[in-house]
C-alpha cells in the first residue's frame, strides 16, 4: 500500500511521534563532523505524499479523557496502566497486535487516554506495567524534577507500579507521554504506547475541552510501517528513527473528522 505524505523537511524533532525521542538520542550520538544538512537529507531521502491517494473513509477516533480523582489534600490522581493488547486492533489490514495505556475505562489497546491537569495542581499518575518487559513513562515537555521524569534511569519492571507525583507549574500546553526505556523506546512507541497530556491555566478553559461535536479534536499523527501480516515493523528506515509509509491519526488510517 503506497501511502505518502508531505515531504518531511523538519530537523529531528517531535514531528514523527514514534521517532521523537529516538531522534533526540541519535542526535546526541552523532559525530561532530556530521552536519545538520547531512542528517536532514537522510531523513527526507524517501519522501512520502498522500496527495490524491486517500478517500478519508474512516471516522477519526478520539481518545477519551482519563478519569481522575482529587483527594482531600488536593492531589489529582490519574491512571495510566500500560498493557499489551490481548486481542488485535484493526488499523489498516485485518488486525494488528498493539500495546496501549488504559485508565481502566478507556481500553482500546492502542495509544492511551488523554491526561489532563491544571496549573497549580499537584498530580500523581499511577503507572502499572502489565507488559512482559521493562518500560518507563516519560512526560514529554513537562517541567518536573528528574526523579519524576520517567527516563531510562527509572525502569518499571513487569508487574510493578510507579507513582510519580509533582506540581504543575507551567503555562497551558499540549504535551504527550510515552515510554523511554533504554534501547526499546522506538519499538514500544511504535506498538502504541503514547498519549496526550493537556495542561490548563487561566488562559484556556476546561469547558472548551476538545471533544466530538466541538470544532477542536484531540489528535496525534504518526507514520508507521506494516509487514504483510499487518504487524508493525518496529525499526525505522531513517537514521533518526522510524519514518513509516502509512500515516495514522489517533490510530485511524485514512480518517475524516467525526
Residue numbers at the binding site for Cu ion (CB under 5 A): 21, 140
Please say which residue, 22 or 117, places its beta carbon nearer to Cu ion. 22
Q: Smallest distance from the beta carbon of 139 to Cu ion, in angstroms?
A: 8
Please say which residue, 100 or 241, places its beta carbon nearer to Cu ion. 241
Q: Smallest distance from the beta carbon of 93 to Cu ion, in angstroms?
A: 29
The set of residues, in sequence order, having a beta carbon less than 8 Å from that of 194 and lying 6+ positions away, is: 17, 18, 111, 112, 176, 177, 178, 220, 222
- CA-nearest of 219, 158, 165, 169 to 194 is 219
What's the N-to-C CA distance of the chain in angstroms? Answer: 25
Render 67-96 in DSSP notation, one character per residue.
P-EE-TT-EEEEE-EEEE-SS-B-SSSS-B
Please say which residue, 116 or 140, places its beta carbon nearer to Cu ion. 140
Please say which residue, 21 or 238, places its beta carbon nearer to Cu ion. 21
Distance from C-alpha of 68 to C-alpha of 220, rounded to nearest angstrom: 22
Q: Are 47 and 243 within 8 A, CB to CB? A: no
- CA-nearest of 21, 176, 221, 193 to 101 is 193
Please say which residue, 3 or 123, places its beta carbon nearer to Cu ion. 123
Q: Smallest distance from the beta carbon of 65 to Cu ion, in angstroms?
A: 21
Please say which residue, 3 or 111, places its beta carbon nearer to Cu ion. 111
Q: Smallest distance from the beta carbon of 188 to Cu ion, in angstroms?
A: 12
- CA-nearest of 201, 85, 197, 198 to 150 is 197
Q: How many residues does the chain have?
A: 258
Name beta bridge partners: 205: none
Q: Smallest distance from the beta carbon of 28 to Cu ion, in angstroms?
A: 14
Question: What residue is closest to Cu ion based on CB?
Answer: 140
Amino acid at each position: 500500500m503506497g501511502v505518502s505524505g508531505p515531504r518531511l523537511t523538519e530537523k529531528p524533532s517531535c514531528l514523527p511521534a514514534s521517532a521523537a525521542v529516538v531522534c533526540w538520542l541519535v542526535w546526541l550520538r552523532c559525530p561532530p563532523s556530521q552536519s545538520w544538512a547531512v542528517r536532514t537529507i537522510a531523513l527526507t531521502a524517501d519522501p512520502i505524499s498522500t496527495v490524491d491517494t486517500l478517500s478519508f473513509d474512516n471516522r477519526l477516533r478520539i481518545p477519551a479523557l482519563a478519569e481522575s480523582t482529587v483527594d482531600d489534600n488536593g492531589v489529582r490522581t490519574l491512571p495510566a496502566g500500560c498493557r499489551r493488547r490481548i486481542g488485535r486492533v484493526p488499523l489498516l489490514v485485518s488486525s494488528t497486535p498493539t500495546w496501549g495505556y488504559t485508565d481502566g475505562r478507556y481500553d482500546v489497546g492502542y495509544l492511551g487516554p488523554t491526561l489532563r491537569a491544571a496549573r497549580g495542581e499537584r498530580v500523581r499518575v499511577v503507572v502499572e506495567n502489565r507488559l512482559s518487559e521493562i518500560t518507563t513513562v516519560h512526560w514529554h515537555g513537562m517541567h518536573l524534577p528528574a526523579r519524576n521524569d520517567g527516563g531510562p534511569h527509572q525502569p518499571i519492571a513487569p508487574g510493578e507500579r510507579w507513582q510519580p507525583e509533582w506540581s504543575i507549574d507551567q503555562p497551558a500546553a499540549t504535551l504527550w507521554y510515552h515510554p523511554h526505556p533504554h534501547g526499546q523506546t522506538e519499538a514500544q512507541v511504535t506498538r502504541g504506547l503514547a498519549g496526550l497530556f493537556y495542561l490548563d491555566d487561566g488562559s484556556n478553559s476546561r469547558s472548551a475541552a476538545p471533544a466530538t461535536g466541538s470544532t477542536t479534536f484531540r489528535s496525534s499523527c504518526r507514520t508507521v510501517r506494516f509487514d504483510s501480516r499487518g504487524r508493525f515493523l518496529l525499526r525505522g528506515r531513517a537514521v533518526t528513527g522510524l519514518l513509516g509509509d502509512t500515516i495514522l491519526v489517533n490510530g485511524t488510517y485514512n480518517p475524516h473528522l467525526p
